[in-house]
Structure 1
Amino acid sequence: MTFDVQLLLLALAPLFLACVLAEMIYWRRRGRTDIYSWPDTVCNAGLALLHQGADKLAWLLVLPLYQLVYQHRLFQFDQSWGSLLLLFLGQDFLYYWFHRASHRVRWLWAAHSVHHSSTRMNLSTAFRQSLFYPLAGMWAFWLPLAWLGFAPQLVIAIVLINLACQFFVHTQSIPRLGWLEYVFNTPSIHRSHHAKNPRYIDRNYAGVLVIWDRLFGSFVEESAAEPCDYGTVKPVPSVNPWTVSISEWRDMLHEVRAARGWRQRLQLLFGPPEDARPASATDRTPQSR
């Protein structure tokens, strides 16, 4: 099934690109030249290619570990629709905690910050991913699913499907969607997540379902009175995919080398990102970006 899903996602690539082009034309015709810029869009594409290469290699390397864990599974799930639905819910739940940790643990934020570093919000922003997610340990968050009894290939397939669904929430073209906002992650909900306004920082971690944010107190509504200001508190003034990829890692490791004592080093590596932020930024908000 994993192979089939990868082929499906490859087949959907033209659809994703067509959506980006359509959105670009949509905003251009309305005079909104600020939504897209060619340097930013090309950078997003370059980051996507780097991420895809690293992601495929990472799955090849960690799949034996998943299979080892699966051998000691607690239950045996088949490939029925009921089991697949349960797997989808479990993976989306774990994605929520991965995403939340990625904003509160600097080691994870070093990778995830790439996705937030653009000052624009459009469908191409969904392509803006880090090739260092495997190094950060993203793959480890799905291991409990194999231990529970879901076949590793199915776990990987659901992870890929979940991430593909999130492509469509990276847009300013779609307004709020009424009752759907109570169940699903929507463009409005995700726009707030990408904003660096104090009201929005470290909120709305949803993958596909927003119920986890509502259950665990991390939900915030997009407000017309406070338009989203996209990007990170610590800007990354570059459109070079490699520079964007290593920016936070470089800063983090530089600060670790300059630190005094292991306690401070560990805090810089695994504490909240704001612990390393300049005082002026920290004073604005106690949150991560």
Structure 2
Amino acid sequence: MESGWESLTLVFLAPLFLICMVLEYRLLRRQGTNDYSLKELVCNFSLAGLHQVADIIATVLLMPFFLWLYQFRLFDITMTPLAVFSAFILQDFFYYWFHRTSHNVHWLWASHVAHHSSEKMNFTTAFRQSLTYPISGMWLFWTPLMLLGYPPTFVVVVVALNLGFQFFVHTCTVEKLGWIEHIFNTPSHHRVHHARNPEYIDKNFAGVLIIWDKLFGTFVEERSDIHINYGIPHAINSWNPFVVTFHQWKTLVTLAFSPAKTPISVRLTYLFGAPKISDGTIRNKPPKSSTN
């Protein structure tokens, strides 16, 4: 969630993140399969820094709205252990739908594509985030929790912990984890999600619990006979964090606002229709009259 509280929570997790990255790097070097590169490391950390700056700005702009919205809550929820547990489950449910929507609505994909643009899968990939999430409206998916009666600051912390957990699923060094695979999101499940292989596209949207994918038909198990190719099919080919952040927004704006004779219905489809994960533009080919 876009907020300074999220940033503060993730800062406390930073030492653990660093330890994991060092251990992963050493393990990959020992195996002779190291996919760490200095250029991508700098790019990913720059993206993370820009994302956190956007969080702070979003706090100033959005928190007054969250507090206003909280006035209309349905319940006055006391933070009992059961209420806290329920908040984590509900937020993870809403995260699933945010994530799934981000792959099916171009406006949200324009932000989310930055995370998928890496052709590698290691812990640093988790830092590959967009500063434009507040613009695309990620925060809207957490407002139902506030309307239910969870205090906005508490919701922010829950979101941050959910995102913090997801750091640990961005690795190729951890194999399948037995019974855990049936309930939780794991590195195996998330490798599928980051793959650009046709068999894996738009699958495994889980944050913490994989049960949502199983309930709503988006689960696919990682197969040993498929070599995973990561990233988006039309590679960005840039380590510039601003290019990574805004390349899809440029595509979206170009499609939606030119040429002049494009019908408004088509423009709205370009803005809010389904993005085509396979080539980074639009799932359905635009009419010939709108491609000049």
TM-score, length basis structure 2: 0.91
Secondary structure, counterpart of 1:104 in structure 2: coil
| Residues 1-289 of structure 1 aligned to structure 2 (within 5 Å) | 7-33=8-34, 35-259=35-259, 260-274=262-276, 277=279
- What displacement does 1:5 show? 6.9
The 10-residue stretch of structure 1 (80-89 or 256-265) with the greater mean CA deviation from structure 2:
256-265
User: Any stretches of 5+ residues in structure 1 without a counterpart?
Assistant: 284-289
The 10-residue stretch of structure 1 (223-232 or 4-13) with the greater mean CA deviation from structure 2:
4-13
Find the aligned partners of 1:136 and 1:179 in 2 and give their Cα distance.
Answer: 36
Find the aligned partners of 2:45 and 2:215 in 1 and give their Cα distance.
Answer: 35
The 10-residue stretch of structure 1 (51-60 or 151-160) with the greater mean CA deviation from structure 2:
51-60
Q: 1:3 to 1:198 in 2, by over 3 A?
A: closer
Deviations 1:15-67 (A, max 9, x none): 2122112211110121113x221111111000000001101211231111111
- What displacement does 1:276 show? 10
Find the aligned partners of 2:269 and 2:250 in 1 and give their Cα distance.
Answer: 16
Deviations 1:101-126 (A, max 9, x none): 00000000000000000000000000
Q: 1:8 to 1:254 in 2, by over 3 A?
A: closer
User: Any stretches of 5+ residues in structure 2 without a counterpart?
Assistant: 286-292
For the 8 Å contact 1:268–1:275, the answer to whether it is kept is no
Find the aligned partners of 1:114 and 1:275 in 2 and give their Cα distance.
Answer: 12
Find the aligned partners of 1:181 and 1:214 in 2 and give their Cα distance.
Answer: 11
Partner of 2:290: none
Secondary structure, counterpart of 1:22 in structure 2: helix
For the 8 Å contact 1:106–1:273, the answer to whether it is kept is yes
Q: How many residues align?
A: 280
Identity %: 47
Secondary structure, counterpart of 1:155 in structure 2: helix
TM-score, length basis structure 1: 0.92
Find the aligned partners of 1:128 and 1:4 in 2 and give their Cα distance.
Answer: 19
- What displacement does 1:3 show? 8.0
Q: 1:140 to 1:211 in 2, by over 3 A?
A: same
Deviations 1:218-275 (A, max 9, x none): 0000111112110012321111111100010011111222241111111111000029
Find the aligned partners of 2:273 and 2:279 in 1 and give their Cα distance.
Answer: 12
Find the aligned partners of 1:3 and 1:249 in 2 and give their Cα distance.
Answer: 25
